[in-house]
Amino acid sequence: MPINILMPALSPTMEKGNLAKWLKKEGDAVKSGDVIAEIETDKATMEVEAVDEGTLAKIVVPEGTADVPVNQVIAVLAGDGEDVKAAAASGASAKAAPAPASPVAPVSKPAPAIAAATPAPAAKPEAPQPQSPKANGSNRIFSSPLARRLAKEAGIDITSIEGSGPHGRVIARDVDAAKSGKGFKPAAPATAAASAPVIAPALGDEKIRALYADGSYEVIPHDNMRKVIAQRLTASTQTVPHFYLTVDCNIGKLTAAREEINAQAPKDKDGKPAYKLSVNDFVIKALGLALQRIPNANVSWTEAGMLKHKHSDVGVAVAMPGGLITPIIRSAETKSLSTISNEMKDFAARARARKLKPEEYQGGTTAVSNLGMYGIKDFTAVINPPHATILAVGTGEERAIVKNGKIEAAMMMSVTLSCDHRAVDGALGAELLVAFKTLVENPVMMVV
């Protein structure tokens, strides 16, 4: 029986991917472990391996195709001894038919996908329902798991959406229409029970374009990364109760220590130093140690209970064309400054080339966003769930301060901690920020 090759889910947030390149052509023999394709996800370009052997009978989705849904058939593999032509002929019907299994896997094993990113199980046969989900007198709303998740992320009450699926089922396209201000149910009679409040729909694309003259702009389609960033950060601001704490740090000792350490770094035969520390490397180390000193802040919120993490896995925002990604320094509290520095240089280079592995940017317990290199004095950053905090770091600059009743110049840096109030209360967030400030202002404490 021919084996359908499916578009794999290479990250928890992936719903669609771009089939960038086929590395095998129709008729080629495929062995287990062979890299057969390159797929662009919302975060990276990943190679995909075959896990079965056979002959690539038919390529269903040509290379260069964008927005291929997860679990859609992309190719058909004929097993050993099978008729390749017959397997290829089944390729056309394979698009809609459920496949027994996907014989491909990413080269690097991704972290387990969240339930919403996995395909829903096939629905059991059920008796025909009335067109209106509530016509039978019950309060049950028929909707797909994906539609429920999209509605929750958009802050839209799914009971207010008119379903267009079978028997009035609310599906993903109905939620997309609701985001544009369309597809809502007519207002209920005054005697009906009050439903949850519905947020005002965003201004639709057509209304926005109508504000500008034709020819005065060009439309640049969103890539997968930009779409996911928009979805996740919109959900974060709507569902995570943020509050912010700001403190000024005197980094005079830190900058002096950085210069001295860099000056004494060992060099190779070409004169290249083994490492070159940045202020951000000290920030990462200090935040990792601060979370160990204030362990109740090293947490993630879940509805069932708080996840209290044993290690400080610090994500670091890295700008890249079209968006950003947050590779993670694992167990930052245990690593030397030089190790952190070299890991970050490697992560930044591979992030910009979209070559990071999913386990290198998924998870983490907190994050750092540093805009100091742009001269930004201070700012607030949006928390990236499941993190409960993120530290926004401004530029280091000379400022006039008062010390012992006298005005003097000092190298100062402002940092702002964004906290998820469900997990980190005001006093706890303040304790964490004080612990961070103490370490940054006394960098010798980071090496003892």
Quickly list H helices, 194-313. Answer: 205-209, 224-239, 252-263, 279-293
C-alpha closest to that of 437 among 320, 282, 256: 282
> What single letter denotes the amino acid at residue 123?
A
> What single letter denotes the amino acid at residue 407?
I
CB 415 within 8 Å of CB 441: no
* Residue 297, beta-bridge partner list: none
Query: Which residues form the catalytic set?
Result: 421
Quickly list H helices, 294-390. Answer: 337-352
Instruction: Concatenate the DSSP letters of all residues of 114-174 into one string.
Output: PGGGSPPPPPPP-----SSTTTTS-----B-HHHHHHHHHHT--GGGBPP-SGGG-B-HHH
Rounded to whole angstroms, the Cα distance separating 440 from 446 reads 8
Q: Is 59 exposed, middle or buried (0-12, 13-18, 19+ CB in 10 A)?
A: buried
The residue length of the chain stands at 448
